[in-house]
Amino acid sequence: MDFTLTEEQELFRKTVRQWVDQNIPKSLANEIEQQEHEFPHQLWDMFTEAGFHGVGIDEQYGGQGGDIITQMILMRELARSLAGLAWVWGISSFSGAKSVGMFGNEEQKQRFLPKLARGEIKFAIAYTEPDGGTDVLGAMKTFATKDGDGWRITGQKIWSTAAHVADYLLLLARTERNPEKKSAGTTVFLVPRDQEGITTRQIPKIGMRAVGSCEVFLENAWCPDENVLGEVGRGFHQSLATLNNERIMLAALCCGIIDGALEEALDYIQKREAFGKKIGQFQAIQHFIADMRIMQTQAELMTFYAAWKQQQGLDCGLESNMAKIVASENAGRVADLALQMFGGMGYAYETNPQRYWRDARLYRIGPIANEMARNSIAEMMGLPRSF
Ligand SMILES: Cc1cc2nc3c(=O)[nH]c(=O)nc-3n(C[C@H](O)[C@H](O)[C@H](O)COP(=O)(O)OP(=O)(O)OC[C@H]3O[C@@H](n4cnc5c(N)ncnc54)[C@H](O)[C@@H]3O)c2cc1C
């Protein structure tokens, strides 16, 4: 088994890294993150210019093509500088485009994918509801009622990232009141966001603040039939099919956080002095670095293994859950060690470790809590379902 990048992939990685260092260095990410609640349109526009929105979208729909490894490389390299702000790319161009690519009909692919690839439209994901994200089906009250040549949707979503600036909400709603099974009777809609029946409120939060995560209130919001994605009643089943990809991509983002935090720490300890020495000469600090390097490799190998299985067409449910857990937990620990090495300045908004640390904390909770990911792993090992 060989996880070495191909020549083409390595060239892509190097090109993206160079582009990131030139255009979106960590200092810019830090600056953007201070402008709380202001969506970083400049990042979006720079991604458009670089062609990143088309990565992973088929060439026949105006994209650049590229498999999951290519998308992982892009996500990781963006997150090395941007940390959670890498979702400015990921929500529309990865999550949104993936769902349309997998479940859209030909007309929908023609209508949405070229615009996504050109950076002309933005998506937000609106699955989670206020009563719970882990038990998403148990908590779901948002209901869509058939009305003429479309649907009327009423309910509330929470934590929909970038909903305030999105053109479309990729929204999961109940379309059947009392289905035999909880997992039946739900449908995915591409709801036009800018309409009278929809309001949003940003929730102030501790990390990836600039990108904005919202409560979404829907009161008879309108969605035309042509924006129903996939089969009516099969929405939840459809979303299960995208979960492994999402977990692998999240793990890649966490690898990027580890890369960025480790790089920052290595640089700092070779400049900062105490007791007449560079602090990088102290054994305790060197052990921190060694531990970070170990965690980096562990996260990377598990992420690549899951992606490799996915690419071979093998079942990667177990591996993508494991990669998501290890990468998110290692990212938090690595960022914490980096912050520790910066001493007091680690606690200052002016330096980068705090940003990695705040952002990494989220990924043990969402898009799936690590407890739930562990539940799934245990179930895959033959234990009785615990939830
Ligand atoms: C910043 C941010 C951005 C987000 N972006 C989006 C987005 O764009 N779109 C979207 O739809 N959602 C988004 N989410 C929602 C995210 O996916 C949920 O927060 C996550 O799924 C957890 O759901 P919850 O917050 O309701 O926690 P809960 O489901 O209430 O869980 C609370 C705690 O209980 C534990 N728990 C629950 N059930 C079990 C069980 N069976 N076994 C063990 N432990 C259990 C959980 O692990 C957790 O620790 C975002 C969340 C945040 C914070």
Residues 94-144 pLDDT 10s? 899 999 999 999 999 999 999 999 999 999 999 999 999 999 999 999 999
Tell me the mean pLDDT in the region 359-373: 97
From the alpha carbon of 163, which atom of ligand 1 is closest?
A: 8
Cα–Cα dist 94/221, whole Å? 25
User: Are 56 and 63 contacting, i.e. CB atoms less than 8 angstroms apart?
Assistant: yes
Best mutation site among 365, 374, 375 for ligand 1 pocket (most ligand atoms within 8 Å of CB)? 365
Nearest CA to ligand 1 atom 17: 367
> What are the structural domains, with CATH classification, of the chain?
7-121 (1.10.540.10), 124-233 (2.40.110.10), 237-380 (1.20.140.10)
From the alpha carbon of 126, which atom of ligand 1 is closest?
A: 11
Bridge pairing between strands 186-192 and 143-147:
unpaired
From the alpha carbon of 129, which atom of ligand 1 is closest?
A: 26
Nearest CA to ligand 1 atom 3: 159
User: Are 144 and 153 contacting, i.e. CB atoms less than 8 angstroms apart?
Assistant: yes
Pick from 158, 146, 289, 181: which is nearest to 297 by CA?
A: 289
Ligand 1, CB within 6 Å, residue ranges: 125-128, 132-134, 159-161, 205, 213, 362, 365-369, 371-372, 375, 387
Residues contacting 5, CB < 8 A, separation 6+: 13, 69, 73
Asked if the model's pLDDT at residue 16 lies above 90, the reply is yes
From the alpha carbon of 130, which atom of ligand 1 is closest?
A: 26
Question: Which single residue is written with the structure tokens 């459809």?
Answer: 238
Tell me the mean pLDDT in the region 328-348: 98
Asked if the model's pLDDT at residue 90 lies above 80, the reply is yes
| One-letter amino acid of 314 | L
User: What separation in Å is there between the alpha carbon of 226 and the centre of ligand 1?
Assistant: 30
Nearest CA to ligand 1 atom 50: 159
User: Are 339 and 277 contacting, i.e. CB atoms less than 8 angstroms apart?
Assistant: no
From the alpha carbon of 205, which atom of ligand 1 is closest?
A: 1
Reading the block at residue 202, the tokens are 């940003």
Nearest CA to ligand 1 atom 7: 160
Write the pLDDT tens digit of every residue in 186-198. 999 999 999 999 9
* Percent of all residues in the chain with a pLDDT value above 90, rounded to a whole number: 94
| One-letter amino acid of 295 | M
Cα–Cα dist 236/172, whole Å? 8
Say whether pTM exceeds 0.95: yes
Asked if the model's pLDDT at residue 37 lies above 90, the reply is no
